Structure 1
Amino acid sequence: MIRGLRCKDDRVLTGESKISYNFTFESETYTVTVATGTSEYSGTNNYIYVTLVGEQGESERTLLDNPGLDFCRGAVDEYKVSSPSPLGRLLLVRLEKQKYWVEDNWFCRYVIVTDPDGHTATFPCLRWLIGDTKVEIREGVAKTFKDDEFVPELLAHRKAELEERQKNYRWLKWAPGIPHCIDAPTEADLPQDARFDNEKRSDFEYSLQYALMELSLKKLAIRFGKSWDDLEDFRRIFWKLKSPIAEYCMEHWKEDWFFGYQCLNGCNPRMIQQCTKLPDKFPVTADMVQSSLCHKTNLDKELKAGNIFLLDYSIMEGLPANVIKNKPQYIAAPLCLLYQHPDDGLIPIAIQLGQSPGDDTPIFLPKDPPLAWLLAKAWVRHSEFQIFQVLSHLLRTHLVGEVFCVATLRQLPAVHPIYKLLAPHQRYTLEINCRGRTQLISSNGIFKRVVSTGGEALLILAQREYKVLTYRSLQPHHDFTDRGVTRIPKYFYRDHALLLWDVIHNFVSGIVNLYYKSDCDVEKDHELQAWIREVTEEGFAELPNFGLPSSLKGREELTKLLAVIIFTCTAQHAATNNGQFDWCAWVPNTPCTMRLPPPTDKDAVTMDTVMSTLPDISQSCMQMAITWHLGRPQPDAVPLGHYTEDHFTEEAAQDLIKTFRKELKEMEEQILSENDGLELQYLVLLPSQVENSITI
């Protein structure tokens, strides 16, 4: 039956009964439900119009109620929309916004359309309408290009959407030798859809001001600009800004086991590697370290047994050190040898504060004068600060994640299943990276003011790492194998990272197999192939040896890549970001800068040497304030596996998301059980503490 069809029986007597039919159509009525965003200022008092676009025509252009009465923040409003004739299958919903008195932007979450037969379709919008504008949105069921190839209107919509995005999201070569980024000089230059919500922006700026205010009060209270007199003086900056681990660190930072623990589970847990042969540049002898080893063993035996490990900071050699307030700062490129002691755990057994051995580059040992050994460890931890902030955190998560984010916005329409999968894991990344470039690592940013690699050295350091960055190293299984650390005990970061990788990979595999029934489907998805080409040839343009192919051959290859992206933007970012206040708040444990060069004479190290080398009062206060600001839990954080925006609307995809959450919950319970009773717990990769995207 054709809905709305009328038949009129006109009988004419001409020797036989004759029936003629005159067809007319009744107006079709659709119920349209419109949801406004829940964040601050999402509502609007402007005119909102809607038009339903179907295979057989369009509805009337309908003004949705009176301006100022509906579309309030968080509102879900219902309307009736008429069509002079049946529309057939709905293809698009066209939304229009026009100014009423004053311009008032509007964030639309979704539109639900119920047709006259009671069938319902959800059209996610999830975007801002700014100015007098018009947008057309697709139903939420994910579709690849192949699914739309016989519907010209939908193909045209895909093309128009990408053309518009490519105008708004452009690539920029911010600096040579690092990944390309979004073309936006400041966060204010980003499209509104890539910006923080107002609550996020207010909290970000307030927390920074709060931290800096406490910094100012501390500086006034502690005689601004002066060096400390004693290591205990650093306690004077522990006011309101503190955490249980930071206080634990304050009590145990001198202990060798605690130094080793941080190599495994601190804020830079990817530096340590197995050492099976001592490098020539690090001439440690068996006699030097014998007292640190167990009885009835020696260095050669332990090397062969796989119990010796190395931290090598050669990437820092020759970096130009920062100058802060006309005073030179200092940088070292240490080597540190560690031993997996059967009773004491991982402990440092030898440290050389340069890459070239010699009389002026002694090898420091645990049996040396206590202050000399303590200062040598502090120099290693100073190098840790530079590596984890610039390389492990900034380059390997923020900048790598940004490449995939920009490529996704430019090459995948919102209806594409891979866009729907990745979008929640790229929330806020562009704005936080823009803020990082302008506020943190710029020529007058925070790094330049307090960090020894601030300024020129920061870029050189990033360029050096970028040259050797590989796609393989972003995959945790390969990373742990290549560094030879698959068997080292109490490496909680490794254990939890692998658990998270497996859960993420399982989820991604389900999504990929849901929408791609064969490897051929992946190969023939030209939008997906354009996306990977843009990643490799534009985003990572200056990295020919990255190891990621510029085309995707099948489902397994696609699954692995998508799992790498999500893992990098969630678990790996959490591992380097979330604990930075814990490990850096007690400044002597991880100093941001050093004000004297590395010692050349072990016996000449005094407490005055140590205190004159470590950051001064002003630098210490700034380090504590900024690591608190950047490492604190975000009040609007979305945990891994939770989605505030329903990009996927079909039941099969939603079932996969439910399974993903269930597995994450089981993992959470496992980690909590393993940590129960531990004096020093490792909860950084607890799924509820891992944010769904890089937002800070």
Structure 2
Amino acid sequence: MEVYTVTVATGTSEYSGTNNYIFVTLVGEKGESERTILDNPGLDFCRGAVDQYKVTSPSPLGSLLLVRLEKQRYWVEDNWFCRYVTVELPGEGKVLTFPCYRWLIGDTKVEIREGAAKTVRDDSSPQLLAHRKTELQERQKTYRWVTWAPGIPKCIDAKTEADLPQDVRFDNEKRSDFEHSLHYALLELSLKKLAIRFGKSWDDLDDFKRIFWKLRSPIAEYCMEHWKEDWFFGYQCMNGSNPRMIKRCKKLPENFPVTPNMVQSSMAPRTDLDKELKAGNIYLLDYVIMDGIPANTIKGKLQHIAAPLCLLYQHPDEGLIPIAIQLGQTPSLDTPIFLPKDPPLAWLLAKMWVRHSEFQVFQVLSHLLRTHLVVEVFCVATLRQLPAVHPIYKLLAPHLRYTLEINCRGRTQLISANGIFKRVVSTGGDGLLILAQREYKVLTYRSLQPHNDFTDRGVFQLPKYFYRDHSLMLWEAIHGFVSGIVNLYYPSDRDMQQDLEIQAWFRDISEEGFTELPSFGLPSKLNTREELSTLLSVAIFSSTSQHAATNNGQFDWCAWVPNTPCTMRRPPPTDKDGVTMEMIMATLPDISQSCVQMAITWHLGRAQPDAIPLGKYTEDHFTEGKAQELIDKFRRELKEIEDHILKQNEGLELQYLFLLPSRVENSITI
């Protein structure tokens, strides 16, 4: 008679425990143990419990292959979340860990493997090979691709979050907080509208202060004080919510006929536009992607969209400042070039129009498409093609948490035909999808890699470009960690090439997820470990650092509505001398739209109470010492980055902390 000591850990989130019957069977190469009931229903398997039992076998089982868990209803159905199982082998004192991290729902059975990560070539047991195959067949039935709309990446086949399997749903605490936060924001919005309705009319920029209470942040308040200043406009191009648009201008676009005389007054002494172009000190924002996008109609009134061009100059004393703005792609008498020396209200309104385009590009392209939708492709492919024992599944699992649910909620609540964007954003409705489709056509794998992105945009010499500097530090740390894991489990490129599961995963990404994208730039197959490491780094960087850079500051930069307006109610001005405060107020979002903008950017941009920071793993998918050493090294590097960023920000009135590792979430959860 062999006696095994079995320890079972229940999840720590609300409702993880169960009062149902739980059975266990140990499966070895020489047979199975007795099917053993583990508790008195309702007494064990409470939330957070770690319970220990004895399981017997009439004869030695040999190498332990699987732990089979079964749940059966006792009185009422009560789902159970199992974290892990450990088994102490008789006589040896050796303890094996079997990670689970799954929900058992209904009368069900799951079989889990010992935690050592293994590729398919590492498995020789027919039973384990069959287990891998069965696991993937079941997952492929559960997780299916679907085309939500043509011309954008494919996504999970789920009409709403309720259609998702429980294993990828929000925990109850997360769901409650998410919905409470939204209700709180919308309640404050209603109170503000009610307060304003009984106040004076909406006719001056200072009137926006009347909705600027309760929900606020230090950066939002700083923004309210400095948003009219040209240096602050330039700062946001580098370190605001959309820091990836600015690029070096070597030659003026033909459709942007700025002459040296126009901007001479903005230049430093003894220089001119031609000299500064050659010196690499002229930069461009070009919103050509907005040209011709159909504008939304809100409450029966057509909104307005522009496709601006904005020239910026790296001034030796003043920093990066805008020096010329054209609010359309075709120059004409009705599309003048606005300059800092123009009437102050005209120049201010021109900058607002650029910032309005910034809102659209940041929300729909930089945030939604290039992080949420790109990462969803990796989520679905990983769940479909990699078994839980695969090292790359273990590597990616923490970075996929909650992403499928938040994306489903985004599709139903934010960007749907009657969602929030349709109610308050100028590109809501058809425009939003057309904008995303345009960006998807030109989306490149290269642009998702920070080194290449900064090189191609020519922005390495821009001073105080904190987003660039912090992104590169995080990319290097992530890529080094990922390369270590890849090289640990693939001793050679040939080992990786012959891994049929990882090649199927790659095909799912390139042929299914990123479909209709011939110029994306992925290779036809993975040939080297470095190619795999870079692809995995793109997935992890996009789901952590890049998402934090675009998401976490959206309330800071958008709460003061004139700084980044969500919509414009009148067309761009055609006469510099005709701009009045009345025109500006009639152009900017109205009271209701402004309140919604504040409420939603607060709800989506606030720090999440259950956030797991980059490098912190609450689930121990890897059990081997060498893998854990790589994780520890990664954490040390992130701590060094944290210390560097904090030191760099000491004494700064306007701090850039969005990429502080402790504030970067491990996955896209909001």
TM-score exceeds 0.5: yes
Answering whether residue 156 of structure 2 is matched by residue 182 of structure 1, we say: yes
* Pairwise CA distance, 1:253: 0.1
Q: Give unpaired runs (5+ residues) of structure 1.
A: 1-26
* Pairwise CA distance, 1:65: 1.5
Counterpart for residue 209 of structure 2: 235
Q: List per-residue Cα deviations over 1:179-199 (Å, max 9, x = no partner).
A: 000000000000000100000
Aligned partner of residue 134 in structure 2, secondary structure = helix
Give 1:660-679 correspondences, 5 Å limit.
660-679=634-653
Q: Tell me how far apart the structure 2 counterparts of residues 694 and 244 of structure 1 sit (CA, whole Å).
A: 24
Judge conservation of contact 1:274–1:310 (CA < 8 Å) in 2: yes
* Pairwise CA distance, 1:119: 1.1
Q: 1:226 to 1:147 in 2, by over 3 A?
A: farther
Which of 367, 389, 408 pairs up with 2:382?
A: 408
Which of 126, 129, 140 pairs up with 2:104?
A: 129
Give 1:54-93 correspondences, 5 Å limit.
54-93=28-67
Answering whether residue 113 of structure 2 is matched by residue 141 of structure 1, we say: no
Counterpart for residue 614 of structure 1: 588
Aligned partner of residue 433 in structure 2, secondary structure = helix
Answering whether residue 271 of structure 2 is matched by residue 297 of structure 1, we say: yes
Q: Tell me how far apart the structure 2 counterparts of residues 650 and 224 of structure 1 sit (CA, whole Å).
A: 65
Q: List per-residue Cα deviations over 1:303-359 (Å, max 9, x = no partner).
A: 000000000000000111000000110000000000000000000000000000000
* Pairwise CA distance, 1:224: 8.1
Give 1:209-228 correspondences, 5 Å limit.
209-223=183-197, 228=202
Aligned partner of residue 222 in structure 1, secondary structure = helix
* Pairwise CA distance, 1:466: 0.1
* Pairwise CA distance, 1:225: 12
* Pairwise CA distance, 1:227: 6.3
Which of 632, 637, 641 pairs up with 2:615?
A: 641
Answering whether residue 75 of structure 2 is matched by residue 97 of structure 1, we say: no
Q: Tell me how far apart the structure 1 counterparts of residues 595 and 282 of structure 2 sit (CA, whole Å).
A: 36
Counterpart for residue 179 of structure 2: 205
Answering whether residue 330 of structure 2 is matched by residue 356 of structure 1, we say: yes
Which of 120, 124, 133 pairs up with 2:95?
A: 120
Counterpart for residue 573 of structure 1: 547
Residue identity matched to 2:441: K
Give 1:547-696 correspondences, 5 Å limit.
547-696=521-670
Deviates more, 1:222-231 or 1:294-303: 222-231
Counterpart for residue 9 of structure 1: none
Q: List per-residue Cα deviations over 1:245-303 (Å, max 9, x = no partner).
A: 00000000000000000000000000000001001100000100000001111100000
Aligned partner of residue 280 in structure 1, secondary structure = coil
Regions of 4+ moved over 2 Å = 224-227
Aligned partner of residue 247 in structure 1, secondary structure = helix
Give 1:491-570 correspondences, 5 Å limit.
491-570=465-544
Q: Tell me how far apart the structure 2 counterparts of residues 226 and 187 of structure 1 sit (CA, whole Å).
A: 42
Judge conservation of contact 1:579–1:684 (CA < 8 Å) in 2: yes
Q: Give unpaired runs (5+ residues) of structure 2.
A: none
Counterpart for residue 84 of structure 2: 110
Q: Tell me how far apart the structure 1 counterparts of residues 530 and 414 of structure 2 sit (CA, whole Å).
A: 38
Answering whether residue 237 of structure 2 is matched by residue 269 of structure 1, we say: no
Aligned partner of residue 7 in structure 2, secondary structure = strand
Residue identity matched to 2:225: E
Q: Tell me how far apart the structure 1 counterparts of residues 19 and 356 of structure 2 sit (CA, whole Å).
A: 54
Answering whether residue 194 of structure 2 is matched by residue 195 of structure 1, we say: no
Q: Tell me how far apart the structure 1 counterparts of residues 202 and 331 of structure 2 sit (CA, whole Å).
A: 32
Which of 190, 212, 226 pairs up with 1:252?
A: 226
Which of 408, 416, 422 pairs up with 1:442?
A: 416
Q: Tell me how far apart the structure 2 counterparts of residues 550 and 45 of structure 1 sit (CA, whole Å).
A: 50
* Pairwise CA distance, 1:373: 0.2
Residue identity matched to 2:551: N
Residue identity matched to 1:681: Q
* Pairwise CA distance, 1:223: 1.1
Residue identity matched to 1:132: D
Q: List per-residue Cα deviations over 1:370-423 (Å, max 9, x = no partner).
A: 000000000000000000000000000000000000000000000000000001
Would you say how many aligned residue pairs link Structure 1 and Structure 2? 669
* Pairwise CA distance, 1:142: 0.2
Q: Tell me how far apart the structure 2 counterparts of residues 490 and 311 of structure 1 sit (CA, whole Å).
A: 18
Residue identity matched to 1:138: R
Counterpart for residue 456 of structure 2: 482
Aligned partner of residue 197 in structure 2, secondary structure = coil
Judge conservation of contact 1:224–1:618 (CA < 8 Å) in 2: no
Percent identity reads 81
What is the root-mean-square deviation of aligned Cα atoms in Å? 0.8
Q: 1:495 to 1:224 in 2, by over 3 A?
A: farther
Q: Tell me how far apart the structure 2 counterparts of residues 238 and 599 of structure 1 sit (CA, whole Å).
A: 27
* Pairwise CA distance, 1:550: 3.4
* Pairwise CA distance, 1:226: 9.0
Q: Tell me how far apart the structure 2 counterparts of residues 143 and 352 of structure 1 sit (CA, whole Å).
A: 57
Q: Tell me how far apart the structure 2 counterparts of residues 76 and 338 of structure 1 sit (CA, whole Å).
A: 60
Aligned partner of residue 40 in structure 2, secondary structure = coil
Q: 1:410 to 1:146 in 2, by over 3 A?
A: same
* Pairwise CA distance, 1:240: 1.1
Residue identity matched to 2:95: T
TM-score (normalised: structure 2): 0.99
Counterpart for residue 252 of structure 2: 278
Judge conservation of contact 1:31–1:115 (CA < 8 Å) in 2: yes
Judge conservation of contact 1:308–1:338 (CA < 8 Å) in 2: yes
Counterpart for residue 168 of structure 1: 142
